[in-house]
Amino acid sequence: MSLSVVREIAPLLAAGALGVLAFVGVRALMSALQVHGAAGRLSRLAGESVAPADEVEIGSQAYQVRLAFARFGVDAAGRESGVLWAMGILLGAALVLLIGLLGYPPLTWLAGPIIAWFVVAGMVSGAWMGMRRQIEQEVPTFLLRMSGTVQAEANALSALEEVGATLTPAGPLQAWVRRFAARLQSGGRPAMQAMLEEAEAISPSLGLAVFEISRLWETGGTGYPQALAQAAENLGGILDGRAQAEAKAAGAKRAILVVLGALVFVTAMLLHNPTLGASVRSPLVQLAYLIIAVWVAIGWAQVNAMIEEATT
């Protein structure tokens, strides 16, 4: 291998090595600072959304990783960390290559792995939020069908099993309702309390549905079909308003992406400007570019988290 070729690939190898170190450092730091919310205390789920082997808590990091990669046909059960690291490193390497091809100086290539970490973390949390939305969207239908079924079927557990079979096949709510019914049959009243806590942590709407069913199961009475129907109507109105908020949030995200795209285009043009190119490649300016890129990635992640929290 000639010396000229070595000189050409040396910056790429150095940037790749530094990029991996940056990815490792950022991921370790963010993992240390991560605070698990109520979802981390959820009970176990053996549903069809994740690999059934080696069950994990709903909402835990392992559960979210399985859920995210299941959408791509990848079974991450038992090897969540390895799959997550592999995705981060591959995406980081791709971003480093892209940044280099756009003409950015070597120091700014370190932004690739850092941005990759935020992208992978967003993909994982987005899968969890998406599953919660799927459940919430079907809860009003679930309550309406329960309202109609309990009028003909006095046994609440039988009605629950019957309605569960009519929900979206292989959907997250159907899997959860089937497990809910099985737990009630085997565990009785203590199981009801545990499932109520789990439902409330997944979604307030699901928690309300389980609360109504628990009252029906424990006390019975002729007024519960009407109560279930009323709850379904109220939740339907809330979800309609939330859908409008999500549409506005999607518009805001697109606007942010347009701004980021314009920023990348402008900086790339400056790098190829004969007059400004040399000054842009100075170490101080490269460091400024790196800081800006990382700050933008952090800001994008924070904005996404705020939007998800407000619309979930």
Rounded to two decimals, what is the model's pTM? 0.66
Report which of residues 248 and 46 the model is more confident about. Answer: 248
Q: How far apart are CA 230 and CA 265, in angstroms?
A: 53
Predicted pLDDT of residue 47: 38
Sorted by where each begins, the domain ranges of the chain are 135-239
**Per-residue model confidence (pLDDT) at position 240:** 75
pLDDT number for residue 225 = 80
Question: Tens of pLDDT along 238-289?
Answer: 777 777 777 777 777 777 777 777 777 777 777 777 766 666 667 777 777 7
Work out the average pLDDT over 115-120. Answer: 87
CA 214 to chain centre: 30
Over residues 219-241, the mean pLDDT reads 78
The pLDDT value recorded for residue 301 is 76
Given a cut of 60, is residue 308 above it in pLDDT?
yes
pLDDT at 113 over 80: yes
Looking at the predicted structure, is the pLDDT value of residue 80 above 80?
yes
pLDDT at 310: 62
DSSP line for 33-94? H----GGGG--B---SSS-SSS--BTTSHHHHHHHHHHTTT---TT-HHHHHHHHHHHHHHH
H or E element that contains 305: helix 283-310
Distance CA 99, CA 14 (A): 14
